[in-house]
Structure 1
Amino acid sequence: MHAAKPGLRALGIAESYSGREQSTLAGVVMRKDLLIDGAAFTRVTVGGSDATDAVVRLVAGLARRDINLLMISGCVIAWYNIIDPGAVQEATGLPVIVATYEESEGLADDIRHHFPDDPDRLAAYRRLGDRTPVRLHTGYTLFIRPCGISPSDAARLCNDFTHEGRVPEPLRVARLVARGVVRSALCGGVVSP
């Protein structure tokens, strides 16, 4: 992958958690010049263990060969459903950058509290490893877990895709789209202003 390539396309994936049995994942394909070039949706089980499969399913459903990179908003979604970025990278053949936006003491205690009889979930969380802080040109710090891409290239791409604030545009737009889908469903298919 050529990180400087102007036509580079990222698939940003973000969730809108509705507190129900299923949560919505939206994927937005965006070129480096911030042109939106596609979208896809899937569901993930709240409190389940299917987040990695859901991300792989979303990528496969697009059936596109021009996506160069996956950006995912968080590894722990849908009430402790954990995405394995290494498994996503292996299944898709694409580099993965998982981004989070705040410093944290971690979620191990919360996972132990809510899932005391699920050592596999805690082990999956621990395998995620540490996050790398990236200081963006906007002055904000983003925390990333790159997989299949060097931390320096991942940092550069996060900067390139961030227009303002701390959220790279593919992730910001994917989150907005996921929220819109959830709201639309809650409103009987009509999005209210």
Structure 2
Amino acid sequence: CTVGGTDAADAVADLVGALGREDVRHVACDGIAPAWFNVLDLRRLHEVLDAPVYSVSYEPSPGLEPALREAFDGDALAARLATYRSLPPRVRVETPDSDGADGSSPLFVRAVGLDTDAAAAAARGLVGEGFRRPEPLRVAGIAASAHREAIEADGTADVDGPVDADETAEAVDPDGPQ
């Protein structure tokens, strides 16, 4: 998807479609803004793919709206705010590493096409022992970083933006408030 664009849902739908797999049971996304404020429209993605879709994030935050307002104005802001505001609320999910007392290491999910409890169970079930992120999202991040490094080392492409979701999450948690 385009860094700072509005094509994130199309890019994910194209990626899933390119797999040519009819057995995709759900789609998990690492956050809702994969490329500097390119906000995923989870409802549209669910409609296009005809599969449950959920996003996972890892930190409590005040949400993406203040950062969107700082970065954009006019129609560009309006389009991103409309997509962002259409998202279901984030729900806190305790993980095996959460101790419950101080809420360390929770996940946060937004789900479309499945209820929040099912999305929470799916995300929780995909977290490997000793890790914080669901394994498919963790491995996808590693693969994407390796691909980016190979492209940059080869000099065949101009790649913009952060390497992985952790870098963007340090500035603003792209998945909004709890």
Match for residue 55 of structure 2 among 67, 79, 98: 98
C-alpha RMSD of the superposition: 1.2
Q: Deviation string for 1:111-159 (max 9, x for gaps)? A: 1111112211122112224200000122220000011111111111112
2-side partners of 1:80 and 1:99: how far apart? 16
Instruction: Determine the structure 1 residue equivalent to 2:46.
Output: 89
Instruction: Determine the structure 1 residue equivalent to 2:86.
Output: 127
2-side partners of 1:48 and 1:138: how far apart? 35
Instruction: Determine the structure 2 residue equivalent to 1:150.
Output: 115
Q: Deviation string for 1:4-51 (max 9, x for gaps)? A: xxxxxxxxxxxxxxxxxxxxxxxxxxxxxxxxxxxxxxxx11111110
Q: Percent identity?
A: 36
8 A Cα contact 2:32 2:40, kept in partner: yes
Q: Give unpaired runs (5+ residues) of structure 2.
A: 99-104, 156-178
Match for residue 62 of structure 1 among 7, 13, 19: 19
Structure number with greater CO (CA < 8 Å, separation at least 6) is 2
- Tell me, what secondary structure is at the counterpart of 1:170? helix
Match for residue 78 of structure 1 among 35, 41, 50: 35
Instruction: Determine the structure 2 residue equivalent to 1:166.
Output: 132
1-side partners of 2:96 and 2:7: how far apart? 35
Which is richer in strand? 1
2-side partners of 1:112 and 1:70: how far apart? 29
8 A Cα contact 2:39 2:84, kept in partner: yes
Matching residue's letter, 1:76: A
Instruction: Determine the structure 2 residue equivalent to 1:52.
Output: 9
Q: Structure 1 residue runs of 4+, over 3 Å off?
A: none
Alpha-carbon spacing, 1:82–1:185, altered in 2? closer, same or farther (3 Å)? same
TM-score, with normalisation over the residues of structure 1?
0.73
2-side partners of 1:68 and 1:138: how far apart? 26
- Tell me, what secondary structure is at the counterpart of 1:146? strand
Instruction: Determine the structure 1 residue equivalent to 2:101.
Output: none
1:138 aligns with 2:97: yes
Instruction: Determine the structure 1 residue equivalent to 2:148.
Output: 182
Instruction: Determine the structure 1 residue equivalent to 2:163.
Output: none
Q: How many residues align?
A: 146
